Amino acid sequence: MPLNDILSITMFLTVCFFLLGGFPVAFSLAGTGLFFATLGWFFGAFDFGLLGNIVSRIFGSMTNNILIAVPMFIFMGVMLERSKVAEELLESLGHLFGSLRGGLGISVTIVGALLAASTGIVGATVVTMGLLSMPTMLKNGYSPRLISGTICASGTLGQIIPPSIVLVILGDQISNAYVNAQRMMGNFSPEPVSVGDLFAGALLPGLMLVFMYIAYQVLIAIFKPEYSPALVQNEGAEKQDLARIFRALIPPIALIICVLGSILAGVATPTEAASVGAVGAILLAGARLDISRALPIYLGIASMVMLLILTNNFDLRVARTEIATGDQIAIYGAMVACLILAYSIFSALMRIFNARTEESDNRILFDVTISTLKITTMVFVILIGASVFSLVFRGLGGDDLVHAALNDLPGGKWGAIFVVMLVMFFLGFILDFIEITFVVVPIVAPVLLMMDVNPVWLGIMMAMNLQTSFLTPPFGFALFYLRGVAPDSVSTSDIYKGVLPFVVIQMIGLLILALFPALATWLPSVIFGD
């Protein structure tokens, strides 16, 4: 075997060893890359001048408009969690569906889908629903296994339902891989693949999983009613809670429609929609913290919707020699809407600044900004480490080794896809989706895309596969998140056994998506005309 191949394989195994040992991911990736770059240079198998490209890669990441959406989506999710908007949503839907057999499980699934579309952070969703819904479900006689599986599976929907941080990062990597693959095939002006394409492509598969989860809850309620009894409520309480349910449910749904709808309608890019989501989360948090003075917040929300409508229907540019009368009126209307929105944001921020969290007594705004900073820093430091690793890996010829290995597999294209999905599935036990996306996808995606694989379909397959690995015992991250907040009465074996039916559902969903790629490709083609 050539020396370059030996170094490439050893390099990949070494980084896996350090990650299993618990070393920080970013430093493991960068350190391993630099060590093998030096080793390869010593043996004459690596050109040290390639490391000069790291600076341009880091600068490219800093100026990448798509990745700007990451901190804003993170801010949006953390704000909704810290301000208890998500908590109120879960409690209200629990009262709405609780009187039905299996209703609590259905409400947890629906809230998981809504939180997925508004936060996209798996750990936060699983922990939040574990703390809020598990005690109620246990008190009402639900099976600990069913509870555990429902919470873990619903919490991971943030991986696949847009707007998802996973899809933002994955979309950037798939887009780069697609361009590289097309150039290697001689096409120097390929049609771009956008994050919006992945958002549209993930919508139907994500909803399919939600309906499959709910169908499982219904089947359990029919055939094993003792596992999911109805919540006993008096009629007066249900009527009294109707206004609260409406108040808790409508604002998050409206926010999701504004964010996702602005992308799918072509009004805004994912980055611009992320800013809408961040501002919307601030307004919802402000309204939630002081219901008695919600009018300024509602005016701000109305102004934001008006701005989206005006942007889509009129030319609001002012640096023009001639401006039509309709556009001029729209510009004045946009100015008024901006002033109202600015006042609403200031009012909401003051409420959030003055409010304190129950757990740490810190100001909510302080907690949100610090958490956003920590998570964003983690993502981009890992991105830098992964850039060093992938650059050295390619410099040693590792991409050629992967290309040859996948091309020589039996079964052609489908054999290569199966092996890549299997490898990503097992890597999901030990690596977070961020590391897998930044390390594995740039290596294997160009090879698969050169085999005439649809990039949107491949991206959604990878996202759903990573979601499944979050659930699979014994190393699924969602299981660890739930174990950390579950009471002692719920054993680890209950959690492991409870998620197994949902893992089977996930695998069925993945198989359906593999057999019917149109589930991922039809909606982007309708919306964007791809």
Average pLDDT over residues 424-429: 77
* Least trusted range by pLDDT, from 282-291, 354-363, 406-415: 354-363
Q: Looking at residues 27-52, what average pLDDT do you find?
A: 86
Residue 251 lies inside a defined structural domain of this protein: no
Closest CA to 254 of 192, 308, 301, 290: 301
CA atoms of 484 and 117, how far apart (whole Å): 24
Residue 1 lies in a domain: no
Q: What's the pTM?
A: 0.74
Q: Is 272 a residue whose pLDDT tops 90?
A: no
**How far apart (Å, rounded) are the C-alpha atoms in residues 373 and 366?**
11
Mean pLDDT of 318-340: 89
Provide DSSP, 396-428: TTHHHHHHHHHHTSTTHHHHHHHHHHHHHHHHT
Query: pLDDT band at residue 507, thresholds of 50, 70 and 90?
Result: very high
Residue range 312-327, pLDDT digits in tens: 788 888 888 888 888 8
Residue 366 has pLDDT above 50, yes or no: yes
- The DSSP 8-state label assigned to residue 432 in this structure reads -
Q: Closest Cα partner for 118 from 70, 167, 73?
A: 73
pLDDT higher than threshold 90 for residue 336: yes
- Is position 238 within any domain? no
DSSP state of 51: G
pLDDT interval class at 512 (50, 70, 90): very high
Do the domain assignments include residue 505? yes
Task: Judge whether 168 lies within some domain.
Answer: yes
Percentage, residues of the chain above pLDDT 70: 89
Is 23 buried (19+), middle (13-18) or exposed (0-12) by CB count in 10 A? Answer: middle
Query: What are the structure tokens assigned to 357, written together?
Result: 């969290």
What is the rounded distance in angstroms from the CA atom of residue 22 to the CA atom of residue 16? 10
8 A C-beta contact, residue 231 and residue 140: yes
The percent of residues above 90 in pLDDT, for the chain, comes to 11
3-state SS class at 386: helix
Residue 55 lies inside a defined structural domain of this protein = no
With 0-12 CB in 10 A as exposed, 13-18 as middle and 19+ as buried, what is 243? exposed
Position 128 scores a pLDDT of 67
Tokens 């610090």 found at: 370
- How high does pLDDT run on average in the chain? 81
Eight-class DSSP state of 99: T
What mean pLDDT comes out for the span 481-486? 77
Residue 341 vs residue 123, higher pLDDT: 341
- pLDDT at site 79: 83
Does the residue 363 lie in any domain? Answer: no
Task: Find the domain containing 472 and state its range.
Answer: 99-233+454-530
Q: How confident is the model at residue 212 (pLDDT cuts 50, 70, 90)?
A: very high
What's the total number of domains in the chain?
1
Say which amino acid occupies 319: A
> Is residue 247 assigned to a domain?
no
* Higher pLDDT, residue 94 or 29: 29
User: How does DSSP classify residue 207?
Assistant: H
pLDDT digits (tens, 9 = 90+) for 437-479: 877 888 888 888 888 888 999 999 998 988 887 787 766 777 8
